[in-house]
């Protein structure tokens, strides 16, 4: 087992940089998620780690070995694809055992190891079925079983759950994380589903246009997004982002004609520094850090109730402020009873200010 | 499952079938029955038997299978034997195997070489028969032909292809002529295989040979069988050799289709010709059945 190091790894397709100088340290045995929208370069990065794409520049190390130019089979990895890639002409035993077969493992040992892998995923009773005779969830488990059967140093997952329906997906998250903890193999997991990445990973790296924009433990990234892109990608619904102007003299920020005092704000100095060049900022606030009231409260924004969505443990209130939707999350047992004009007060300890370009100021 | 009501009543459905059925009846069913009938008579074009053909029982068939002479040149057995060599050489080894090899070699490759090979192979396929035949005759000509000009430059002498290697040259001709179909069929079949199948194998550590044996060939099995059926039947029945050699020299390239033509339309022995046609039809049927049974057996997983 071993960690992975990417050093200024790039991949160009013609003049397009699909992956642009990505540098990452993935620790031995950790569950690492590459998260981003489609086309951000996460899958290309994974495929370069696998050796299925040639790197244009940069290096890839697995453990102490520089594998940048090695063929996939020399890298000692296992990969699960989005479509599972189970061979329709082989039964499950042969499918899961295929990595062992090509390594010349004797049939008896192959059968034993396949059975063990299948047992750990609860599909050992299906070994003489063909993939077409299995459900989506069973196929997905079979693909994972094939990945763990030959004890590779690194697991690579390319959106392995996105072909499952919502309920199975949540279930599969559970067994994937449990399994990874059990075998303790360094895992790189590509997904566009932020909830999946947060739920599974020890560290996540968020990619945008071929670059890693932020990396860290999921909650750290969630609670301190470094750009508006990250802020708007993590969380469901994501962070509310509102344009505003700083008023240095009054020590406040104006958002849609409401003025909010920043007397107590922790990062006022940095805002002052920023305001010397540009008074425009973007204020970010998570839906759970807004207080909503039917009557006017101090330090608040005002808008009209647009929709109320009870979700069970929590409820969402969508408020329109000057045509822009702002989400508020409430943890109540009852359906919130708001209507018409409401006031929203942000928790100033939890507010972030971003440069209009997207960079975090404070 | 719930049965949906048909769009048309069966009467109006039948009405739509009538034109097609008439067409098939006139051009397929009637000749079929007529040939069958003719094969038991001594019908000829000219002479006494032309006006009053007589029923001769299995005489025509007996003449075909006269085992004392049937392997002599110009006899039915010899024609069958030549056809078998021609089919194995130009259909199985030539078109199917070469087409498969080309498709696999150029699978997921791009570049000028692939384009060049594909264009040339497809070109050989779309030129009209007559043009192709004459250019091959010219190409293989002993004294003036391009092929011998090349060979003699390289120091291989000037063999008379049409005389000394007549069967080999028609086999080469037919391979060259028809490989495009198999190549295109296998190329498009390969294109339907998800890339992840091969990538999974690659990551798992499979060599190029293992990928071919364990993944590509099993997944192509159905296409290979279908291609075999079509190519075998087409090659068995092809007549374009006639344009090249007319079956000669001395019947050495006389395949069954040319033999039938000679008996029926040069000797005008319609009864005998019909008997050959019936036998050929039965052989074709047997070949098709064998392939169809194989096809059914291998398609259990899909």
Summarised one tens digit per residue, pLDDT across range B157-186 is 777 777 777 788 888 888 888 888 999 999
Residue B302: per-residue pLDDT? 47
What's the angle, vertex CA B161, arms to CA B156 and CA B167, rounded to 5? 125
Q: Where are the alpha helices (DSSP H) in A201-259?
A: 218-223, 228-233
Nearest residue to A48 via CA among A101, A9, A16: A9
Paired tokens of A173 = 């998250």
Q: Where is pLDDT greater, at B265 or B12? A: B12
Residue A277: per-residue pLDDT? 85
Per-residue DSSP letter, A133: G
Say if residue A171 is in the same domain as residue A26: yes
- CATH code of the domain containing A72: 3.40.50.300
Q: Is residue A232 part of a domain?
A: no
Domains of chain B: total:
1
Among residues A226, A253, A270, the one where a domain terminates is A226
Residue B94: per-residue pLDDT? 86
Concatenated DSSP letters of B62-121: HHHT-TTTTTSTTSHHHHHHHHHHHIIIIIIIIIIIHHHHHHHHTTT--SHHHHHHHHHH
Domains of chain A: total:
2
A102, B202: Cβ pair inside 8 Å? no
- Best mutation target, B201, B204, B218, B302, to test chain A (most A CBs within 10 A): B204
Paired tokens of B124 = 């050989």
Of B205, B218, B301, which is closest to A102 when you measure between CB atoms?
B205
Of B194, B206, B219, which is closest to A83 when you measure between CB atoms?
B194
Of A75, A85, A102, which is closest to B206 when you measure between CB atoms?
A102
- CATH code of the domain containing A314: 2.40.50.140
Say if residue A175 is in the same domain as residue A296: no
Looking at every residue in chain B, the average pLDDT score rounds to 83
Say if residue A273 is in the same domain as residue A221: no
Q: Is residue A234 part of a domain?
A: no
- CATH code of the domain containing B248: 1.10.3720.10
Q: Is residue B2 part of a domain?
A: no
Nearest residue to A87 via CA among A102, A97, A76, A77: A97
- C-alpha span between A319 and A303 (Å, rounded): 6
CA end-to-end span of chain B, whole Å? 21
Domain residue limits at A334: 240-354
Q: Is residue B39 part of a domain?
A: no
- List, in sequence order, every residue forming a beta bridge with A248; answer none if it has no partner: none
Residue A1: per-residue pLDDT? 52
Q: Is residue B13 part of a domain?
A: no
Complex ipTM: 0.83
Say if residue A194 is in the same domain as residue A335: no
Q: Is residue A361 part of a domain?
A: no
Say if residue A92 is in the same domain as residue A194: yes
Residue B271: per-residue pLDDT? 77
Q: Is residue B209 part of a domain?
A: yes
**Residue B230 — φ and ψ, nearest 5°?**
-65, -50
Paired tokens of B225 = 């069988």
Say if residue A263 is in the same domain as residue A149: no
Contacts of A155 in chain B (CB under 8 A): none
Residue A48: per-residue pLDDT? 94
Of B194, B199, B215, which is closest to A52 when you measure between CB atoms?
B199
Contacts of A51 in chain B (CB under 8 A): 202-203
Among residues A192, A226, A260, the one where a domain terminates is A226
The H or E element containing residue A191 is: strand A186-191
Q: Is residue B186 part of a domain?
A: yes
Give the residue-averaged pLDDT of B136-142. 81
Kindly list the strands in the beta sheet with A154-158, ordered across the sheet, starting from the edge strand earlier in the chain: A77-80, A154-158, A186-191, A31-35, A203-208, A211-216
Say if residue A180 is in the same domain as residue A323: no
- C-alpha span between A160 and A34 (Å, rounded): 13
What proportions of chain B, in percent to the nearest 5, are helix, strand and coil? Answer: 75, 0, 25
In terms of Cβ atoms closer than 10 Å to its own Cβ (0-12, 13-18, 19+), residue A86 is: buried
What's the angle, vertex CA A326, arms to CA A323 and CA A328, rounded to 5? 150
Q: Is residue B265 part of a domain?
A: yes
pLDDT digits (tens, 9 = 90+) for B103-123: 999 888 888 888 888 888 888
Q: Is residue A103 part of a domain?
A: yes
**Buried/exposed code over A308-324 (b: 16+ C-beta within 10 A; e: otherwise):** beeeeeebbbbbebeee
Residue B299: per-residue pLDDT? 60
* 3-class SS of residue B249: coil
Nearest residue to A172 via CA among A161, A162, A181, A187: A161
B200, A85: Cβ pair inside 8 Å? yes
List chain A pLDDT tens, one digit each, 362 residues.
589 999 999 999 988 999 999 999 999 999 999 999 988 999 999 999 999 999 999 999 998 899 999 999 889 999 999 999 999 989 999 999 999 999 888 999 899 999 988 988 888 898 889 998 898 889 999 999 999 898 889 999 999 898 888 888 888 898 889 989 988 899 999 999 999 999 999 999 999 999 999 999 999 999 999 999 999 999 889 999 999 998 888 888 998 878 888 888 888 888 888 888 888 999 999 999 999 999 998 889 999 999 999 988 899 999 999 888 999 999 988 888 888 899 999 998 899 999 999 889 88
Chain B contact for A146, CB < 8 A?
A: yes
Say if residue A251 is in the same domain as residue A220: no
Say if residue A93 is in the same domain as residue A123: yes
Q: Is residue B232 part of a domain?
A: yes
Say if residue A204 is in the same domain as residue A272: no
pLDDT digits (tens, 9 = 90+) for B187-234: 999 999 999 999 999 998 888 899 999 999 999 988 898 888 889 888
Q: Where is pLDDT greater, at A306 or B52? A: A306
The H or E element containing residue B140 is: helix B129-140
B250: phi > 0 → left, psi -120 to 50 → alpha, else beta; which? Answer: left
Q: Is residue B52 part of a domain?
A: no
Among residues A226, A260, A281, the one where a domain terminates is A226
**Residue A129's closest chain B neighbor by CA?**
B301
Say if residue A10 is in the same domain as residue A137: yes
- C-alpha span between B251 and B267 (Å, rounded): 15
Say if residue A94 is in the same domain as residue A199: yes
Chain B contact for A295, CB < 8 A?
A: no
Concatenated DSSP letters of A159-183: STTTTS-HHHHHHHHHHHHHHHHHH
Using pLDDT thresholds of 50, 70 and 90, give the confidence band for residue B48. low
**Residue A87's closest chain B neighbor by CA?**
B197
- C-alpha span between A233 and A225 (Å, rounded): 9
Residue B300 above 80 pLDDT? no
Domain residue limits at B282: 65-301
Using pLDDT thresholds of 50, 70 and 90, give the confidence band for residue B2. low
Q: Is residue A341 part of a domain?
A: yes
- C-alpha span between A77 and A79 (Å, rounded): 7
């Amino acid at each position: 087992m071993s960690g992975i190091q990417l050093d200024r790894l790039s991949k160009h397709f013609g003049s397009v940089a699909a992956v642009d100088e990505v540098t990452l340290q993935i620790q031995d045995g950790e569950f690492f998620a590459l998260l981003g929208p489609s086309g951000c370069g996460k899958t290309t990065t994974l495929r370069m780690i696998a050796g299925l794409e040639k790197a244009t520049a940069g290096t890839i190390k697995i453990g102490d070995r520089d594998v940048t130019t090695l063929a996939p089979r020399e890298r000692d990895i296992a990969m699960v694809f989005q479509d599972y890639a189970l061979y329709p002409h082989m039964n499950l035993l042969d499918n899961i055992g295929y990595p062992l077969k090509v390594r010349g493992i004797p049939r008896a040992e192959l059968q034993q190891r396949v059975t063990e892998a299948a047992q750990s995923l609860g599909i050992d009773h299906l070994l003489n079925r063909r993939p077409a005779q299995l459900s989506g969830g069973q196929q997905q488990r079979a693909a994972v079983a094939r990945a763990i059967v030959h004890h590779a140093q690194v697991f690579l997952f390319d959106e392995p759950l996105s072909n499952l329906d919502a309920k199975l997906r949540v279930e599969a998250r559970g067994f994937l994380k449990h399994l990874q903890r059990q075998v303790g193999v360094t895992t790189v997991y590509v997904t566009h589903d932020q909830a999946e990445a947060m739920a599974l990973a020890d560290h996540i790296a968020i990619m945008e246009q071929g670059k890693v924009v932020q990396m860290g433990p999921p909650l750290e990234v969630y609670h301190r997004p470094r750009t508006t892109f990250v802020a708007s990608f993590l969380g469901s619904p994501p962070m509310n982002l509102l344009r505003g102007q700083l008023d240095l003299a009054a020590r406040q920020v104006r958002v849609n004609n409401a003025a909010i005092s920043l007397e107590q704000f922790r990062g006022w100095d940095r805002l002052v520094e920023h305001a010397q060049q540009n008074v425009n900022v973007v204020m970010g606030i998570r839906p759970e850090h807004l207080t909503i009231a039917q009557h006017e409260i101090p330090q608040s924004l005002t808008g009209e109730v647009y929709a109320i969505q009870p979700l069970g443990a929590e409820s969402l209130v969508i408020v329109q402020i000057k045509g822009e939707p702002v989400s508020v999350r409430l943890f109540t047992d009852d359906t919130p009873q708001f209507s018409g004009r409401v006031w929203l007060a942000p928790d100033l300890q939890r507010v972030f200010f971003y440069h209009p370009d997207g960079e975090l100021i404070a | 499952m719930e049965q949906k009501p048909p769009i048309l009543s069966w009467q109006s459905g039948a009405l739509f079938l009538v034109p097609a059925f008439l067409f098939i009846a006139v051009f397929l069913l009637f000749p079929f029955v007529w040939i069958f009938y003719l094969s038991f008579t001594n019908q000829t074009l000219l002479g006494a038997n032309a006006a009053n053909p007589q029923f001769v029982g299995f005489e025509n068939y007996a003449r075909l299978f006269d085992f004392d002479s049937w392997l002599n040149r110009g006899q039915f057995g010899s024609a069958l034997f030549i056809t078998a060599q021609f089919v194995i050489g130009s259909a199985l080894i030539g078109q199917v195997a070469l087409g498969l090899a080309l498709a696999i070699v150029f699978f997921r490759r791009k570049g000028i070489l692939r384009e060049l090979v594909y264009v040339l192979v497809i070109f050989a396929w779309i030129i009209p028969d007559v043009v192709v035949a004459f250019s091959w005759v010219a190409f293989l000509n002993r004294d003036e032909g391009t092929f011998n000009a090349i060979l003699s430059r390289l120091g291989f002498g000037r063999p008379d292809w049409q005389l000394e290697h007549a069967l080999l040259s028609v086999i080469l001709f037919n391979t060259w002529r028809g490989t495009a179909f198999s190549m295109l069929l296998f190329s498009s079949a390969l294109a339907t295989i998800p890339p992840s199948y091969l990538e999974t194998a690659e990551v798992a550590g499979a060599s190029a040979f293992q990928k071919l044996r364990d993944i590509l060939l099993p997944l192509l099995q159905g296409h290979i069988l279908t291609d075999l059926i079509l190519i075998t039947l087409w090659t068995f029945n092809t007549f374009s050799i006639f344009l090249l050699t007319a079956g000669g020299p001395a019947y050495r390239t006389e395949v069954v289709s040319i033999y039938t033509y000679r008996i029926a339309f040069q000797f005008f022995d319609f009864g005998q010709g019909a008997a050959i046609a019936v036998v050929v039809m039965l052989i074709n049927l047997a070949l098709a059945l064998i392939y169809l049974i194989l096809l059914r057996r291998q398609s259990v997983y899909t």
